[in-house]
Amino acid sequence: VLAVARIAGIQAAKKCADLIPLCHPLMLTKVSVELTANTKDSSIEIIATTKLAGKTGVEMEALTAASVAALTVYDMCKAVDRGMVISHTQVLEKSGGKSGDWKA
């Protein structure tokens, strides 16, 4: 499940301009999606990282990657637990671009 969700997230980052109006296509230099299962509280942490060699931000691509990865986990596991919750999506860190560096 986690491997499929990782691939789905990477694909989603590359298709962000097709999904979000006014989000223009970017030549991403890196997309990574890491999913970490926590058996203690039955959760999965998803962290998406995107990079670009240009001056624009790639937050939307990272958020899209993480969101689609989470949706994929839900889709593949809903037969076992329909009560799953997708929560707390946020930008953790941003560097470069016009607005400079930022950290949550």
Q: Which residues carry out catalysis?
A: 75
- CA–CA separation, 47 vs 45, rounded Å? 7
Angle at 28 between CA 68 and CA 69, to 5 degrees: 10
Closest by CA position to 73, among listed 90, 86, 89: 86
Q: Provide the 10 A C-beta neighbour count for residue 65.
A: 30
